[in-house]
Amino acid sequence: MLEEFRDSIQVEINLIQDRHDCSNFFAAIQTLRLYCALFPEAAARAGLRKLYSLRSREIRAVQAAFGFDDYPPGLLRNTGNLLWKLRRGLVKSSAGEKARFKKIALIDDQSDRIHIRLGLGWKYIYDWLLYDNEAGVEIIDSMENPEVIAEKVSAGFDLVLLDLHLEPKDVQQPAAATKGALVLKALRKKAPMIPVIMTTASRNPEKHKALRVLGSDGSWIKENIDERLSAEKSAARIISLVEMAAKLTDKQYSLLTKSFLLLDKMKTKTLWWENWEWISERDGVASRIEPNKGIIFSKLTHGLLQFRELLQNKLLEEGFYVKNDESSRIAAIITLLGGIFEAFHSVYQGSSLSSAMEHRKDYLGKLLYRMRNQAAHFRSGAPLDFSFFERFLKGLFCYLLFPPPGEDFHKRNFNWRTPDLEALLGNQPGFREIYHNYFS
């Protein structure tokens, strides 16, 4: 397409790189136009209408090459009832609150270049799209090496918007060889808990499939110069980014993020079970436990990564055709994590883990193991849901962090379906801080 205009416009064109750059320019302009149409009051307050008076050489070249001139502000309102419904649907949906109060990292080589040429960069666009204000998205320098970028992002971000093509050569590379993919790999190693949305102007289906394999939680296509979508479809695509960001910062992903952070904190602590003896209520025999911290942390990490995969599949709607599919995955994760309890109790022949827990007054462990058994046999009962998994996971972390509550737990909670962790462990040193920072 660019070749057709080489003789009619006075601009040097590097077909591959300029195609990528022009796609980013076009996507930025189109996103802002549609934002103005979807949220005209907010757009007016933000001063986005100055977009229509821009006359930079670069923008003129793009408009000349691809047939776009300045759109009058009211153009997209003429799409009528459907666009009105889209706007109304976004405001009323669970994504209506968007990603408010979350901290989002933006890694995109075009952020500054578009800002210089448009006066409005991707940071500005995402700020308004995801936050309705000018302070929510923070730019991370894409010129740094992947490990440095991962280190910067690992501290305190709730979501990452990561462009696939961070260097000119990336446009011609397979997805796995791009700098964006290398940054994603470094992020997964340094901060596996942080959700990542890969953004790209590429429509290549193989690249998007590769992004899923590489570990992205979702991908979003910036509207491409070749697509020429209707206003309704453009708006739907923008709404999809807002909804994706909302899902990736909701309660379920928050539990995953906080669990990984708490696991990192545990690795620096001396835990009660590193020097502990169970005293049998039946015969008074003392049993010293010597769990392998490396094995326990590895199993816990593996369970959290499986939970992450479940959330990724759920977001992408892969393999969740009936409710029991999700229940099966939850059951498998709880069963895996339930194996941790076996490291805390040696079981004699003819005995069971549950009875050993009872005799040694490990009542919290027994209750959690009962939940594990319920999950393992869920098909004979009600489907498992996120709230069941959440209760089990919080209980497991409390089990690993705080000494057994003993008789008090037995008297007040033994017959309860799930423990009242705050009431039982509230007097334990450090519990209130842990509960407030990670469980509330």
Q: How many CA atoms does the CB half-sphere of 360 hold within 13 Å?
A: 26
Q: Does domain 2-249 have CATH number 3.40.50.2300?
A: yes
Q: Directed axis angle between helix 231-248 and helix 122-131, to 10°?
A: 70
* Domain boundaries along the sequence of the chain: 2-249, 253-439
The residue whose two tokens read 């793009």 is 62
Torsional class of 177: left (φ above 0), alpha (ψ -120 to 50), beta (otherwise): alpha
Show pLDDT as tens, one digit a residue, over the chain (440 residues): 445 444 444 444 455 566 677 778 778 878 877 777 666 666 655 655 555 454 455 445 444 444 444 443 443 344 444 445 455 555 544 454 555 557 899 999 888 777 666 667 888 888 888 877 777 788 999 889 999 999 999 878 889 999 998 888 888 888 888 999 999 999 999 988 899 999 988 777 777 778 788 888 888 988 877 777 777 777 778 888 888 888 888 888 889 989 998 999 999 989 999 888 888 877 777 888 888 899 999 999 999 999 998 888 887 765 444 455 788 899 999 999 999 998 888 766 557 888 888 888 888 888 899 899 988 887 656 678 888 999 999 999 999 999 887 666 665 654 455 567 777 777 788 888 888 888 77
Question: pTM for the whole thing?
Answer: 0.77
Cα–Cα distance, 110 to 161 (Å, whole number): 13
* Count of Cβ atoms closer than 10 Å to residue 134 Cβ: 11
Cα–Cα distance, 392 to 386 (Å, whole number): 10
Q: What φ, ψ does residue 417 adopt, rounded to 5°?
A: -65, -40
